[in-house]
Amino acid sequence: MIKLGAVYVLAGLVFAAFAVLSALDRNNGKRFGNALFWALVSLSFLAGDHLGDLGNGVLVLGLAAIAGFGMLGRGQPATTSPEERRALAERFGEKLFVPALTLPVVVAFGVLVLKPIELGGQPLLDPKQATLLSLALAAIVAVAVALILLRQPPMSPLQEGRRLMDTVGWAALLPQMLAALGAVFALAGVGELIGQLVTDWIPMDARLTAVAVYCLGMAGFTIIMGNAFAAFPVMTAGIGLPILIGQFGGDPAVVCSIGMLSGFCGTLMTPLAANFNLVPAALLELPDRYAVIKAQIPTALPLLVGNLVLMYVLAF
């Protein structure tokens, strides 16, 4: 049975390639800092289970030190010029979308066709991780399709991936780090503490009040923590499970899914979600670094209100 570990190995090998290519990039004055940074990320994927809590903690401190002391630079991998890219776009036209459209097709194939397959009485794919495994397979297939269609060198996906990672820098790891922070908060009992504080100050005898506190809390904690995955275990442990589901009998699937959507509304409004909101502004060289957030707020607020209404109507 293919398990999630296969995805970790794939990601680890990709980051290892970034590390090697960074070390060989003589045009980057901080190439060894980049190489060490991506090598540590690769190590976390390939051997994180064997490092233990202390080892992984030291690894994270190493990543923070490299980024904090300004040891990261932007590499200059060999790539096409703007004129060459324009010529390729004119040559291939709408065919450029084929690799991107390959992703959903292969994911659907994996979930609908590969997931039910059994070999020797065991499922081919881990049923709990079939979607993520299918996504990894889709990424491999899409890269192969792009190489064949566009007739690019085999190393181009890794070089372009490294260029993108160097441009984004340490912010590329924010989702992973903040999700881990949410798990730490949950283990530390922060969710239960928040639930106790909320119930002490806000009467939870009305269903609408509980829904509002949960949805607004998900958005608020996401704004503070920068990631809905970090806010979810905290707010769900404090409000979602004991009150909305336990006290009012809400549908867990509806409560949790709309709760996450409420958190994503907070993602649209926070600079702490740097990889979503600050990096695009930097890549596009916008004069206002908060321009993306300002453009998203008029969408985020009505969407948050809509999620509150949907949860109140559908969850009970």
Residue 292 within any structural domain of the chain: yes
Residue 308 belongs to what domain range? Answer: 189-314
Tell me what pLDDT residue 195 has.
67
Q: Are 162 and 309 members of one domain?
A: no
Residue 256 within any structural domain of the chain: yes
pLDDT in tens, 182-201: 677 777 777 677 767 766 77
At 79, list the tokens.
């790539």
Gyration radius of the chain over CA positions: 22
Average pLDDT per block of 10 residues along the chain, 316 residues long: 90 94 88 93 91 88 89 80 81 87 93 88 87 92 91 87 83 74 72 70 79 91 83 84 89 93 93 79 78 93 95 91
* CA atoms of 5 and 243, how far apart (whole Å): 35
Tell me what pLDDT residue 191 has.
64
**Exposed, middle or buried, 75 (CB in 10 Å: 0-12/13-18/19+)?**
buried
**Total number of domains constituting the chain:** 2
Q: Are 90 and 146 members of one domain?
A: yes
Q: Are 127 and 159 members of one domain?
A: yes
Contacts of 196 (CB under 8 A, 6+ apart): 238
Tell me what pLDDT residue 294 has.
93
Residue 260 within any structural domain of the chain: yes
Q: Are 147 and 273 members of one domain?
A: no
The region, left, alpha or beta by phi > 0 then psi within -120 to 50, assigned to residue 28 is beta
Residue 92 within any structural domain of the chain: yes
* CA atoms of 291 and 304, how far apart (whole Å): 20
Q: Are 86 and 231 members of one domain?
A: no
Nearest partner of 217 among 187, 258, 188, judged by Cα:
258
Q: Are 47 and 143 members of one domain?
A: yes
pLDDT in tens, 101-146: 999 999 999 999 998 888 888 888 888 888 989 999 999 999 999 9
Residue 51 within any structural domain of the chain: yes
Q: Are 51 and 111 members of one domain?
A: yes
Tell me what pLDDT residue 234 has.
81
Task: Decide which of 168, 203, 234 is a domain's last residue.
Answer: 168
Question: Residues 202, 207, 226, 139: what is their CA dihedral angle, to the nearest 10 degrees?
Answer: 160
3-state secondary structure 140-209: HHHHHHHHHHHCCCCCHHHHHHHHHHHHHHHHHHHHHHHHHHHHHHHHCCHHHHHHHHHHHHCCCCCHHH
Q: Are 258 and 305 members of one domain?
A: yes
Task: Decide which of 138, 168, 198 is a domain's last residue.
Answer: 168
The region, left, alpha or beta by phi > 0 then psi within -120 to 50, assigned to residue 121 is left
Hunting for tokens 């949907």 — which residue is that?
A: 310
Tell me what pLDDT residue 80 has.
74
Q: Which residues of 232-256 are buried (b: 16+ CB within 10 A; e: fewer)?
A: bbbbbbbbbbbbbbeeeebeeebbb
Residue 45 within any structural domain of the chain: yes
Task: Decide which of 168, 198, 215 is a domain's last residue.
Answer: 168
**Exposed, middle or buried, 158 (CB in 10 Å: 0-12/13-18/19+)?**
middle
Q: Are 71 and 161 members of one domain?
A: yes
Q: Are 146 and 278 members of one domain?
A: no
Q: Are 135 and 194 members of one domain?
A: no
Q: Are 114 and 51 members of one domain?
A: yes
At 202, list the tokens.
């806000």
For residue 136, what is the enclosing H or E element? helix 130-150
Question: Residues 113, 115, 117, 123: what is their CA dihedral angle, to the nearest 10 degrees?
Answer: 170
